Amino acid sequence: MFNDFLKANNLEAIPTLFPVKGNMGKDVFKNIDKINSLIDILKEKGAEHIFVIRDLEDLECVVLARNEINSDSVQKIIVEKTMESWFLADSEALQKVFSADDIKVEFPEKIENPFNALKQISKEKENRGISDKLIFAARMLSNGFSIENAAKHPNCDSAKYWCYVELSG
């Protein structure tokens, strides 16, 4: 799991202060005063490294997504499509979540809307959709989702970048 990855790299997670839902979401990273105050709080709690993970979503390129995070004091991790593409890349966790051995997504970062793809898998395997991204993310985590597993997928380059370039660089 992600905590194992942190331990292997001598990192420790502290609870997030950044809003993850609602109208604040990614917009908080655009406001230099807000992001700096959040960074100050994290540093007061002892953070030596701060990572901001943001998905590309509707932006045209990684540079635009990186530039939306208005701080040079953080490591900026950009997921190529949306973070849900990482979920699609971790077949092992998906198979556990949906109790099905036949779930494998060949090109998770090429899917136009990965969240819709996850909802479709849910409809097919459980006869119901997914209404809340955060609840589904918690479900993936509790079933062993890891960025390392996503990075092992042959067609999930953004997860590889996160695991092998950002943290080692």
Write the pLDDT tens digit of every residue in 116-130: 999 999 999 999 989
Given a contact cutoff of 8 angstroms between Cβ atoms, the answer to whether 93 and 140 are in contact is yes
> pTM (2 decimals)?
0.66
| CA dihedral over 59, 31, 38, 9, signed as positive or negative | positive
The pLDDT tens digits for 15-70 are 555 555 444 556 667 778 888 888 888 888 888 888 777 777 777 888 888 888 88
- Counting residues of the chain whose pLDDT is more than 70, the rounded percentage is 80
Q: Does 101 score more than 60 pLDDT? A: yes
Reference 64, options 74, 55, 51; nearest CA is: 55
Q: How many other β-carbons are positioned within 10 Å of the β-carbon of residue 76?
A: 19
